[in-house]
């Protein structure tokens, strides 16, 4: 999977953003800019941007260009007759960067389209375009092309550019033909945040009709389980695709179609390609052996540019000090920038599984060789080390939540899937691969602190549905764009999936101490109540809100730092989900489903009518209440009764079964232990033990009783 980022980033640091200025008036075919251009026969201005007078137009949409309205229409009639549009003489000064940029909508039959460079009217060279477009296939109606013509035009007198069309084709629409001093970067939605970041960091991209960025000329393809290799190869050949990578036991493939020559020397610009990739994608979807196909959309965590560091494969030294995996462990997959698995707060959670480091070792049979702790889907190796810090911060929040709230009777393991690079950028292919891999690796909970807009993705949704079949709960971030997701959906947050919890962010007010200690990574519950300004919101997509500002957690190198975002709120809910799953599993009598864990968290959440637009019923996470509900959902014999409640000083605890308690403690709302008593025995059901409570301020506390195979919590009011 070095396919995407490793190949591109060698040049990224040398690139900077530049403002784009037209070097001459843009030809929009709405005014007079085209008057000094030369039109051939079979070339005319379409008043509505359509080719609806041509055969087989069949109600297609108009070409989508910035100027809208009119466009140039070329029609091919066969043979060698040229249909063309020729510019006037172009005289750009030496040293001037010259980029040709235009919109097109083209459907091929047996035609040829190209750009000719003329010198004093004589053909100097040709640039073929759309040449790998299959017969009967068309570009997207919003296709944009860009060419770096600096060498051809700068400092050269009497040069011309000619759009040429020969042979037979259905139509070729052109609009907004312009010459610019810098590359054009299409805007992304919302707010062009992703587009600006990708351009600044050197990633090539195009945008779909919803305005979201994808990798040019790449498709993510999921074959059906019964597709044979000859059937797969036939489909690849039909669409002119070659396989760049595959994952999830070859269930998912990354295709490249017509992409080998479409990067400029800088790599940022799709200079000669066609978004016929979208039409090809539609064609692939119709094949019976295909379960899903999508553009390879970009997605991101919190976008922060970093300096790359080597991330070589694991060695024996890399694994030294890590515990061995346990069969009964609850496993949490973190799809992110990786984890610093050597961090003192995290190493106990990153366990070494069956696979060793010898060649071709796949002892666990998960189709990944030598993957003892996780996988790096960016560098396609077994070292999921974090070279950004986001993933380590997320992992620290989960660890802190487990330390504070989970029973000691459960084992927890983190499985780091490095799906995002050092800049926090990933693709649909990487996250879909990791989500499918989670089902193969028997994960219990997935943390997704990332997201994307645009098309919802069939392949990723299939991966989430597969996770549901395998009883995996997914906790997803709502995003940090301050937008209503009901108007513009983000994914995976807005999938209507029963095994998904989507998390928005609450503002905290001094609730997270910066000096470390046992509260690091956990919620001080009395200090948050209102949505964070940056959180995305919706009463349908967003299930619950949790603390998301000033969250201190682990970062690579053994340190700690504060971060903000729904990325930080999400692992708090994932950690609580793991604690709840642990608690429900202690009964040992049955398999606990993701639905019980999800329902426990949402049922215990505190509704707030003031914020019903931000999450369903304005729900906010309340961790002690959640664990109390989890205890209530255990078998009846696990319960106790505590009275009087409210209590002034003495508290009677009656057991509903014969049992022994290793510890009885009283906790504040923020989880601090203020009282502890141990070694209490209830010889038979109905026995009572009396506790004398210490002098404490009046308020709400939680009584927690811990036994060898159980934990029980109840809210207590002290007056």
For 349, the 3-state DSSP assignment is: helix
Q: Is 351 helix (H, G, I), strand (E, B) or coil?
A: coil
Inter-residue contact 630 to 584 (CB < 8 Å): yes
443: which strand partners? none
Closest by CA to 445, choosing from 487, 410, 408, is: 410
Bridge partners (DSSP) listed for residue 715: 702
Q: Is 539 a catalytic residue?
A: no
Is 103 one of the catalytic residues?
Answer: no
CB distance 549 to 564 below 8 Å: yes
- The residue whose two tokens read 């049922």 is 603
Contacts of 465 (CB under 8 A, 6+ apart): 497
Residue among 84, 403, 458 at smallest CA distance from 282: 458
Q: Is 679 exposed, middle or buried (0-12, 13-18, 19+ CB in 10 A)?
A: exposed
The DSSP code for 491 is B
Residues 6+ apart with CB under 8 A from 562: 512, 514, 550, 551, 552, 553
Query: What is the C-alpha to C-alpha distance for residues 73 and 81, in angstroms, rounded to an integer?
Result: 16
Catalytic residue among 101, 390, 393, 420: 390
Q: Which residue reads 């928005």 in tokens?
A: 504
Q: Which two tokens stand for residue 143?
A: 């296709």
Residue whose tokens read 């889907």: 377
Contact 305, 200 (CB under 8 A): yes
The Cα 417–Cα 433 span in angstroms is 10
Which listed residue (245, 336, 387, 444) is catalytic?
Answer: 336
Q: Is there a contact between 84 and 44 (Cβ–Cβ < 8 Å)? A: no
* Owner of token pair 């805007």: 187
Q: In this structure, what token pair is assigned to residue 514?
A: 């910066």
Q: Which residue has the tokens 């931000």?
A: 614
Neighbours of 6 (CB within 10 A): 15
503: phi > 0 → left, psi -120 to 50 → alpha, else beta; which?
beta
390 is catalytic: yes
- DSSP β-ladder status, 551-555 and 544-547: unpaired
- Secondary structure (3-state) at 193: helix
Residues 592, 39: Cα–Cα separation, whole Å: 71
Cα–Cα distance measured from residue 302 to residue 285, given in angstroms and rounded to the nearest whole number = 32
Angle between helices 594-604 and 623-632 (to 10 degrees): 130
Q: Is the dihedral of CA 299, 302, 307, 311 positive or negative?
A: negative
- Active-site pick, 169, 279, 449, 567: 567
- How far is the C-alpha of 476 from the C-alpha of 90, rounded, in Å? 53
In this structure, are strands 412-418 and 375-376 parallel, antiparallel, or unpaired?
A: parallel
Residues with Cβ < 8 Å from 496, sequence gap 6 or more?
none
Work out whether the CA dihedral 268, 269, 274, 276 comes out positive or negative. positive
Q: What amino acid positions are annotated as catalytic residues?
A: 336, 390, 567
């Amino acid at each position: 999977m070095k396919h995407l980022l490793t190949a591109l980033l060698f040049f990224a640091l040398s690139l900077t953003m530049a403002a784009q200025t037209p070097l001459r008036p843009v030809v929009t075919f709405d005014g007079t800019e085209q008057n000094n251009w030369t039109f051939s026969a079979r070339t005319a201005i379409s008043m509505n941007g359509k080719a609806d007078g041509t055969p087989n137009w069949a109600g297609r949409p108009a070409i989508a260009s910035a100027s809208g309205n009119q466009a140039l229409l070329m029609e091919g009639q066969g043979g060698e007759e040229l249909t063309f549009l020729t510019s006037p003489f172009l005289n750009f000064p030496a040293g001037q960067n010259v980029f040709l940029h235009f919109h097109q909508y083209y459907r091929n039959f047996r035609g040829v389209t190209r750009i000719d460079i003329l010198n004093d009217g004589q053909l100097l060279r040709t640039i073929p375009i759309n040449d790998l477009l299959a017969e009967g296939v068309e570009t997207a109606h919003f296709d944009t092309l860009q060419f770096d013509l600096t060498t051809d035009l700068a400092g050269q007198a009497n040069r011309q550019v000619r759009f040429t069309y020969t042979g037979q084709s259905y139509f070729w629409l052109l609009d907004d033909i312009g010459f610019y001093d810098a590359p054009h970067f299409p805007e992304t939605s919302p707010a062009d945040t992703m587009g600006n970041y990708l351009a600044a960091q050197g990633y090539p991209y195009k945008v779909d009709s919803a305005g979201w960025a994808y990798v040019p000329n790449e498709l993510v393809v999921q074959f059906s389980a019964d597709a044979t290799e000859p059937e797969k190869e036939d489909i690849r050949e039909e669409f002119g695709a070659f396989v760049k990578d595959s994952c999830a036991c070859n269930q998912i493939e990354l295709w490249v179609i017509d992409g080998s020559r479409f990067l400029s020397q800088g790599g940022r610009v799709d200079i000669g390609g066609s978004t016929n990739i979208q039409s090809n994608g539609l064609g692939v979807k119709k094949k019976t052996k295909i379960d899903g196909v999508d553009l390879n959309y970009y997605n991101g965590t919190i976008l922060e540019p970093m300096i790359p560091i080597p991330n070589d494969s694991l060695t024996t030294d890399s694994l030294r000090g890590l515990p061995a995996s346990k069969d009964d462990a609850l496993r949490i997959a973190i799809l992110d920038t990786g984890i610093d698995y050597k961090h003192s707060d995290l190493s106990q959670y990153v366990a070494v599984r069956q696979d060793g480091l010898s060649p071709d070792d796949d002892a666990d049979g998960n189709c990944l060789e030598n993957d003892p702790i996780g996988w790096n889907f960016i560098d396609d190796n077994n070292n999921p080390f974090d070279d950004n810090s986001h993933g380590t911060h997320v992992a620290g929040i989960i660890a802190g939540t487990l330390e504070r709230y989970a029973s000691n009777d459960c084992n927890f393991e983190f499985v780091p899937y490095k799906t995002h690079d050092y800049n926090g950028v990933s693709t649909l292919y990487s996250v879909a691969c990791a989500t499918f891999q989670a089902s193969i690796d028997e994960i219990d909970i997935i943390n997704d602190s990332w997201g994307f807009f645009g098309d919802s993705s069939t392949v990723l949704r299939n991966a989430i549905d597969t996770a549901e079949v395998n009883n995996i709960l997914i906790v997803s971030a709502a995003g940090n764009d301050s937008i209503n997701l009901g108007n513009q959906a983000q994914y995976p947050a807005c999938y209507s999936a029963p095994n998904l919890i989507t998390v928005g962010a609450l503002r905290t007010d001094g609730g997270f101490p910066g000096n470390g200690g046992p509260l690091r990574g956990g919620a001080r519950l009395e200090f948050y109540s209102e949505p964070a300004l940056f959180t995305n919101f919706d009463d349908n997509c967003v299930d619950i809100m949790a603390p998301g500002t000033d969250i201190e957690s682990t970062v690579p190198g053994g340190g700690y730092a504060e971060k903000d975002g729904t990325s930080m709120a999400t692992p708090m809910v994932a950690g609580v989900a793991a604690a709840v799953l642990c608690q429900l599993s202690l009964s040992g009598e049955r398999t606990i489903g993701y639905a019980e864990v999800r329902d426990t968290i949402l049922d215990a959440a505190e509704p707030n009518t003031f914020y019903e637009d931000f999450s369903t019923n304005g729900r906010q996470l309340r961790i002690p209440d959640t664990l109390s509900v989890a205890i209530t959902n255990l078998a009846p014999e696990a319960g106790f009764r505590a009275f009087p409640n409210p209590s002034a000083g003495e508290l009677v605890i009656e057991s509903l079964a014969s049992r022994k308690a290793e510890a009885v403690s009283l906790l504040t709302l923020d989880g601090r232990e203020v009282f502890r008593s141990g070694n209490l025995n209830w010889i038979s059901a109905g026995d009572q033990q009396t506790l004398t409570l210490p002098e404490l301020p009046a308020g709400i506390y939680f009584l927690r009783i811990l036994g060898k195979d159980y934990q029980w919590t109840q809210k207590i009011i002290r007056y």
